Amino acid sequence: MSNRRSRQSSSAPRISDDQMIDLVTKLRQILPEIGQRRRSDKVSASKVLQETCNYIRNLNREVDNLSERLSQLLESVDEDSPEAAVIRSLLM
Amino acid sequence: MHHFVPDFDTDDDYVNTNNNNSSLNHLPRKSITTMGEDDDDLMELLWQNGQVVVQNQRLHNNNTKKPSSSSFPTKLLQPPIPPSMDNHQQQQQPSSDQNLFIQEDEMTSWLHYPLRDDDFCSDLLFSAAPTPPCATSHVVTAVRPPVPVPSSSNESRPPVRNFMNFSRLRGDFSNGRGESGPKTIVRESTQVSPSATPSSAAASESGLTRRTDGTDSSAGLNRKGKAVAMTAPAIEITGTSSSVVSKSEIEPEKTNFDDKKRKEREATTEEAECRSEETKQARGSTTSTKRSRAAEVHNLSERKRRDRINERMKALQELIPRCNKSDKASMLDEAIEYMKSLQLQIQVMSMGCGMMPMMYPGMQQYMPHMAMRMGMNQPLPPPSFMPFPNMLAAQRPLPTQTQMGGSTPQYPVHASDPSRVFVPNQQYDPTSGQPQYPGYMDPYQQFRGLHPTQPPQFQNQATSYPSSSRVSSTKESDDQGNHKTG
């Protein structure tokens, strides 16, 4: 399997279909929306990939928002307090 | 009413240099739109005798820049002709027709101008070297304001050529609607663009054209697919394909970094298809030709699908940090892990955000409670997936190195440092007995192999999903050092 991967890879479109199916299935399990709503055989790989990209972007945005909120919280908290330490740890 | 405001700023030079009508120079920029009946300020672009005549009853008091720019062609065509102002007053009668004409969508009305007379364009193109590009750019920008005029002026020849083709095409439909216009423009512009782009191979041009014809609906243009990519290069190259650009705007990023590769691929594939199709037809046998054509169609669609997938994979690869994998499968694996880690991180942080304000009172009792709950019942209450102990445990700056056996630290993973378990001092004491604490320190540890709803495990398993093993491991994980193996 790994040999096949290494041979086929390097941006060549000859990836094994089974591999794609497995990975797409895995991705669909994670994606909160389309992967779980639709029937399994209906979703195309490109759609799944697109959903993945969008989802990652959303997650990144969420992380940024949360970081901002946490930093704001940090400002409201006394320095050297345990809470501040906790918040700092969360932010890192 | 000005329906669109093209940026005629660059016209100023030309206006000043070429316009012998000084009064026009003072006209500020305004839309080319000519709803004559509405506004006193509006100019009317009339097509009179094969020339664009700016009928401006109020020209003198008016400050429309558009008349000036639109009067360029008039001046170009008939240099001796007095400023368009004079013509305006003279030609009032056809104004009614022109008004009707003009009242259409701006694009159509604008497009109609070159319809009547090819000479108009040719004169435009060749009469005055600096002006035609400007005029064309104006004209084009009138249709598509966002197109940067300087860019069009930079490449004087291709936009001019494009305009020429525009005129030829528009001659087909005398009363073409605005909606059909863009489509035709698109189709034709792709035909034009090959001529404009010296780099395109002939086969690729034909392929481009064919492909565009195959997807010749505006919807097809809007697709995130070949059509946009096909037209986008043409647009970028010519720089003044108006309507097409407006549609390709939808897919800016895609076209930018994908269209080049796609174009090359398309060029090669289209060449092969042309040749293969020709050979098949040369055989003369209908059935085999049909079959081969069907196979070709299938190949085409398959290739399209593949290209789409590759494009998405590239986008995904760009999103994932520190992804140096060229292998698709491993890249997807990384994407999955990254997504899980992001989910975890968000959960932790959101919980921290929510809990932070409440941390001041009764924190001590809170956290042990959470920890115990974490330890005892595997199905955690959903909101407190990452309990407080995780935050406490992470008080120290967490090293990014992980003790995970096989997996490389690609994300800012908090290493499950056994010593870290006890670093959180007083808060930890009541819960030090909890074996799960060490696991909580590493929010990213879980994404390695855990289902998001599973409790965090300090014991890191690279891709082990089953929870049972983890449960057992946590129970016996008093000495965290041994359980760092992946």
Pick the most confident of A33-47, B147-161, B330-344: B330-344
Residues A8-37: tens digit of each pLDDT: 444 444 557 777 677 667 766 766 665 455
Q: What angle do CA B2, B7, B10 make, to 5 degrees?
A: 140
Across the interface, whether the CB atoms of A63 and B335 are under 8 A apart is answered no
| pLDDT of B441 higher than 60 | no
| Parallel/antiparallel/unpaired status of strands B44-48 and B51-55 | antiparallel
CB B56 within 8 A of CB B64: yes
Summary mean pLDDT of chain B:
52
- Please give the ipTM for the structure prediction: 0.76
Closest of B187, B172, B184, B185 to residue B242, by C-alpha: B185
Chain B CB contacts of A60 below 8 Å:
319, 342
Question: For residue B300, what pLDDT band results from cuts at 50, 70 and 90?
Answer: very high
Alpha helices in B144-285, H assignment, sequence order: 149-154, 157-170, 180-196, 202-214, 218-222, 226-238, 242-248, 252-283
Which one of A46, A62, A69 would you mutate to disrupt binding with B, by most B Cβ within 10 Å of its Cβ? A46
Q: Which residue of A has its CA nearest to B354?
A: A70
- Between B142 and A34, whose confidence is greater? A34
Q: Which residues pair with B51 in a beta bridge?
A: B48
Cα–Cα distance for residue pair B342/B348, rounded to 1 Å: 10
3-state secondary structure at position B409: coil
pLDDT computed for residue B304 by the predictor: 92
Q: In this structure, which amino acid lies at residue B480?
A: Q
Cβ-Cβ pairs closer than 8 A, A with B, add up to: 127
| Residues 462-481 (B) with a CB less than 8 A from some CB of A | none
- Between B226 and B305, whose confidence is greater? B305
Chain A CB contacts of B327 below 8 Å:
5-6, 9-10
Which one of B313, B340, B386 would you mutate to disrupt binding with A, by most A Cβ within 10 Å of its Cβ? B313
Across the interface, whether the CB atoms of B395 and A6 are under 8 A apart is answered no
Look-up of token digits 């995904």: B316
Q: Which residues pair with B54 in a beta bridge?
A: B45
Cα–Cα distance for residue pair B213/B167, rounded to 1 Å: 20
Chain A CB contacts of B392 below 8 Å:
82, 86
Which one of A66, A76, A81 would you mutate to disrupt binding with B, by most B Cβ within 10 Å of its Cβ? A66
Across the interface, whether the CB atoms of B338 and A56 are under 8 A apart is answered yes
Residues B183-229: tens digit of each pLDDT: 444 444 444 444 444 444 444 444 444 444 444 444 443 444 444 44
Structure tokens at B81: 């002709």
Is any Cβ of chain A less than 8 angstroms from the Cβ of B322? no
CB B66 within 8 A of CB B29: yes
Is any Cβ of chain B less than 8 angstroms from the Cβ of A56? yes
3-state secondary structure at position B408: coil
pLDDT computed for residue B459 by the predictor: 41
Structure tokens at B346: 């968000």
Closest CB to B342 among A6, A53, A60:
A60
Question: For residue B470, what pLDDT band results from cuts at 50, 70 and 90?
Answer: very low
Across the interface, whether the CB atoms of B363 and A52 are under 8 A apart is answered no
Closest CB to B349 among A5, A26, A67:
A67
Which one of A25, A33, A52 would you mutate to disrupt binding with B, by most B Cβ within 10 Å of its Cβ? A52
- CA distance, residue B287 to nearest chain A CA (Å): 30
Q: Which residues pair with B114 in a beta bridge?
A: none
pLDDT computed for residue B48 by the predictor: 55
Residues B368-412: tens digit of each pLDDT: 444 444 444 444 344 444 444 444 444 444 444 434 334 444 444
Cα–Cα distance for residue pair A6/B262, rounded to 1 Å: 24
In B361-479, beta strands by DSSP E: none
DSSP state for residue B56 in the 8-state scheme: -
**How much is the average pLDDT of B458-463?**
41
Closest of B484, B472, B460, B469 to residue B337, by C-alpha: B460
Cα–Cα distance for residue pair B462/B407, rounded to 1 Å: 6
Phi-psi label, residue B49: left if phi above 0, alpha if psi -120 to 50, beta otherwise: left
Question: For residue B301, what pLDDT band results from cuts at 50, 70 and 90?
Answer: very high
- CA distance, residue A90 to nearest chain B CA (Å): 6
Alpha-carbon Rg for chain B in angstroms = 34
Across the interface, whether the CB atoms of A56 and B339 are under 8 A apart is answered yes
Is any Cβ of chain B less than 8 angstroms from the Cβ of A2? no
Pick the most confident of B6-20, B46-60, B373-387, B418-432: B46-60
| Residues 394-433 (B) with a CB less than 8 A from some CB of A | 394-398, 412, 427
Cα–Cα distance for residue pair B148/B145, rounded to 1 Å: 8
Across the interface, whether the CB atoms of A89 and B397 are under 8 A apart is answered yes
Least confident span in A35-44, B146-155, B349-358: B146-155
Is any Cβ of chain B less than 8 angstroms from the Cβ of A4? no
pLDDT computed for residue B46 by the predictor: 58
Structure tokens at B471: 């449960």
Report the number of secondary-structure helices (H) and strands (E) in chain A. 5, 0
What is the CATH topology of the domain spanning B289-349? MYOD Basic-Helix-Loop-Helix Domain, subunit B (4.10.280)
- Between B276 and B419, whose confidence is greater? B276
Is any Cβ of chain B less than 8 angstroms from the Cβ of A44? yes
Does the model's pTM come out above 0.80?
A: no
Is any Cβ of chain B less than 8 angstroms from the Cβ of A19? yes
Chain A CB contacts of B254 below 8 Å:
none
Cα–Cα distance for residue pair B3/B81, rounded to 1 Å: 30
Cα–Cα distance for residue pair B250/B243, rounded to 1 Å: 12
DSSP state for residue B415 in the 8-state scheme: P
- CA distance, residue B67 to nearest chain A CA (Å): 47
Each domain of chain B, given as residue ranges in start order, spans 289-349
CA A81 to each of CA A88, B73, B86, B359: distance values in angstroms, whole numbers, following the listed order: 11, 75, 83, 11
Question: For residue B297, what pLDDT band results from cuts at 50, 70 and 90?
Answer: very high
Q: In this structure, which amino acid lies at residue A62?
A: E
Q: Which residue of A has its CA nearest to B304?
A: A46
Is any Cβ of chain B less than 8 angstroms from the Cβ of A21? no
Closest CB to B332 among A27, A66, A90:
A27
Across the interface, whether the CB atoms of A82 and B395 are under 8 A apart is answered yes
pLDDT computed for residue B303 by the predictor: 93
